Structure 1
Amino acid sequence: MNREKDDLYAAPLDGKWVKSSRSGGNGAACVRVMKIEGGVALDDSKSPGRPALRYTDEEMRAFILAAKDGEFDFLLGS
C-alpha cells in the first residue's frame, strides 16, 4: 500500500456510520459509510467482523460521479 492508504487504514473509525435510506428495512442491504480523516470508510453491517474498506476522497468522488452518470447500471441486472 502507499502512504496515503496506510494513513486511511490507520484512521480510527470513531465517527457515525450512515446507512442509505434505500437500504432494505429487513437489513438485507446495509452498506454503511463513515467520513474519516482523508477519506471514507465503507462496511457491511451484517458482517461486523470484517474490516471496513477505506477510500480516499478522490476515489469516492470518482466513484460517486460515475454512479450518478449511470456507468454501473449494468451491474443491477434487469
Structure 2
Amino acid sequence: MAETAEEIKARKERERDELYALDISGVEWHCAPGTEEHEERVEIAYLPEGAVAMRSSLDPDTVLRYTEAEWRAFVLGARDGEFDLEPRAHGEGLAAE
C-alpha cells in the first residue's frame, strides 16, 4: 500500500531528525580539487546511509545535511543545468534560472 502524504511527511521528518542527531565531529571534509585552503569553497562530508553534510569553508559551524535521496536529486539537477547561473544586466549580480 502506498504511503499517504501525511505518512511521507512524518517519515521525512524522522529521517531529518535522525540525520541532524548524528555526531559529525570526526567526519572528513572534501572540496573540489584545485582549491586553495584560504579560498572560499563548498565542502562536503559523506555520512552513513548515503547521506551528505555540506558547509562553506568560511562558515564551518553552519552545516546542512541531506538524505541520500535529497543529495541524489540535487546532484542530478546540477548535472542537468537546473542550478546554472545566468548573468544579469550590469549591477544586478547573478540570477538562477
Category of TM-score, reference length = shorter chain: 0.7 to 0.9
Q: d(CA) in 2 for partners of 1:22 and 1:67?
A: 20
Higher RCO structure, 1 or 2 (CA under 8 Å, sep 6+): 1
Q: How does 1:1-78 map to 2 (within 5 A)?
A: 2-13=13-24, 14-21=26-33, 23=35, 25=36, 26-28=38-40, 30-38=41-49, 39-50=51-62, 52-73=63-84, 75-77=85-87
Q: Could you list the runs of 5+ residues in structure 1 that have no partner in the other structure?
A: none
Shift of 1:76: 4.8
Identity over aligned pairs, percent: 38
Task: Calculate the TM-score normalised by the size of structure 2.
Answer: 0.66
Q: Cα deviations across residues 14-61 of structure 1 (Å, max 9, x unaligned)?
A: 2210011264x3513x110001123100011111232x1000000010
For the pair shown, the structure with the greater C-alpha radius of gyration is 2
Count of aligned pairs between the two proteins: 74
